[in-house]
């Protein structure tokens, strides 16, 4: 509870610059909101690690429940996100937010990360038949995630519902214009605008909000963008699948370390880096291609540009970001210029990634961690002294 209240207070303070920006252009408001959201998202992790180290420093009975304290503090930091989300999205209800939180927790933590961490824990210290079997099992699990297992669950649980006939007709029209194949058009809940194409299952998924904020022409333009992804070559899809397995090599951390020490981990890191960079470059190239096709096939490039801008404005996403090479989608400002549209406003400033709140959390976490290392170091020295005596 204390972690939840503290995180809520920090998130409230972090939103002060955004609150004061009422009346400014949406790009400036989005720029000021970004560091507050980034800080709030990192809050749970910082709180969890800080609680774990603090309990270990306290020693005694407290040290034995460090894991429980870490999970409780992490959960408190995450639950405090509701207050921030509610202020940014006034229409968001607690029920809808909790539903989304539970879904993310189930698939991201209990699903993916639980399997991944269990594989590392049960992986033997040496390469052998057991290591191969565990590697194959995790590989099959990751491929199932890539090839549509989560989407099938969403449909089964009715988290995705069939889109209305009007939107399905617009989507089908876009797909026919690009001679692609479409099997299903689905709607999902949420206050944010969302659109995605799943190349393996040939499905479109849109948020209900997206259909509300866009006109028919603009919705059709977004469908054209997503339909372009359905025309990607088999080699491109194969590349997406392979790069989607980039984290898989890390399940072999233990046997790699046993075989070559710290140097044995270098091939895993290099392989991850190569797959990660390749995946992002491939994704970026496909997004640029989809933008070009959508602008070309739309009634006019202005329609597609207007749809993109509404998308970003509603989601309060900055029009310009840092670290362009680390993201799949280009900046909105560059996307508009690429389709031949000059925005009616100057290029916005780049948002800060962190704010004073985030820096304070990080410094406090490092201080507690440093204290833990000092305590452990003192214990080690005392043990050495006793053994000498």
pLDDT digits (tens, 9 = 90+) for 299-355: 889 999 999 999 999 999 999 987 665 688 899 999 999 999 999 899 998 888 766
372 has pLDDT over 70: no
Confidence of residue 144 (pLDDT cuts 50, 70, 90): confident
Average pLDDT over residues 276-290: 93
Tokens of 366: 């490092």
The answer to whether 62 and 85 have CB atoms below 8 angstroms apart is: no
The answer to whether 331 and 30 have CB atoms below 8 angstroms apart is: no
Region at 148 (left for phi over 0; alpha for psi -120 to 50; beta for the rest): left
- Give me the pLDDT at residue 170, please: 95
Q: For the chain, give every domain's residue range.
A: 162-346
Look over the chain and give the mean of its residue pLDDT values, rounded to a whole number.
83
378 has pLDDT over 60: no
Q: Which residues contact 364 (CB under 8 A, 6 or more apart)?
A: 46, 50
Q: Which residue has 């409780």 as its token pair?
A: 72
- CA–CA separation, 123 vs 132, rounded Å? 9
Tokens of 242: 């392979």
Q: What secondary structure letter does DSSP report for 248?
A: G
75 has pLDDT over 70: yes
Q: How many CB atoms lie within 10 A of CB 387?
A: 7
- Give me the pLDDT at residue 359, please: 65
Dump the DSSP string for 31-80.
Answer: HHHHHHHHHHHHHHHHHHHHHHHHHHHH-HHHHHTHHHHHHHHHHHHHHT
Confidence of residue 230 (pLDDT cuts 50, 70, 90): very high
67 has pLDDT over 60: yes
pTM: 0.84
């Amino acid at each position: 509870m204390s972690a939840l209240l503290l995180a809520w207070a920090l998130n409230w303070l972090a939103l002060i610059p955004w609150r004061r920006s009422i009346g400014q252009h949406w790009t400036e408001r989005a720029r000021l909101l970004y560091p507050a959201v980034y800080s709030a998202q990192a809050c749970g992790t910082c709180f969890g690690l800080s609680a774990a180290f603090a309990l270990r420093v306290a020693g005694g009975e407290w040290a034995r429940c460090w894991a429980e304290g870490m999970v409780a503090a992490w959960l408190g930091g995450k639950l405090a996100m509701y207050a921030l989300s509610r202020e940014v999205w006034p229409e968001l209800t607690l029920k809808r937010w909790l539903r989304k939180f539970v879904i993310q927790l189930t698939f991201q933590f209990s699903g993916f990360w639980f399997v991944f961490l269990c594989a590392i824990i049960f992986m033997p210290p040496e390469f052998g038949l057991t290591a191969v079997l565990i590697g194959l099992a995790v590989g099959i699990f990751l491929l199932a995630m890539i090839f549509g297992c989560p989407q099938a669950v969403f449909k089964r649980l009715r988290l995705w519902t069939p889109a209305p006939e009007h939107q399905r007709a617009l989507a089908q029209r876009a797909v026919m214009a690009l001679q692609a194949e479409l099997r299903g058009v689905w709607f999902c809940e949420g206050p944010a605008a969302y659109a995605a194409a799943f190349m393996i299952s040939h499905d479109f998924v849109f948020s209900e909000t997206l259909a509300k904020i866009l006109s028919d022409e603009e919705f059709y333009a977004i469908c054209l963008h997503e339909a372009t992804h359905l025309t990607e070559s088999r080699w491109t899809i194969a590349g997406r699948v392979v790069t989607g397995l980039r984290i898989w090599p890390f399940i072999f951390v233990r046997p790699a370390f046993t075989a070559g020490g710290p140097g044995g981990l270098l091939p895993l890191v290099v392989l991850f880096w190569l797959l990660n960079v390749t995946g992002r470059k491939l994704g970026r190239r496909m997004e640029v291609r989809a933008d070009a096709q959508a602008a070309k096939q739309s009634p006019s490039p202005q329609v597609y540009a207007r749809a993109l801008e509404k998308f970003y404005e509603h989601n309060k996403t900055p029009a310009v970001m840092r670290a362009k090479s680390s993201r799949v989608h280009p900046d909105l400002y560059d996307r508009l210029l690429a389709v031949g549209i000059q925005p009616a406003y100057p290029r916005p400033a780049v948002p800060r990634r962190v704010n004073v709140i985030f820096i304070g959390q990080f410094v406090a976490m490092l201080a507690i961690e440093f204290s833990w290392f000092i305590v452990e170091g003192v214990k080690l020295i005392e043990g050495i002294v006793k053994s000498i005596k």
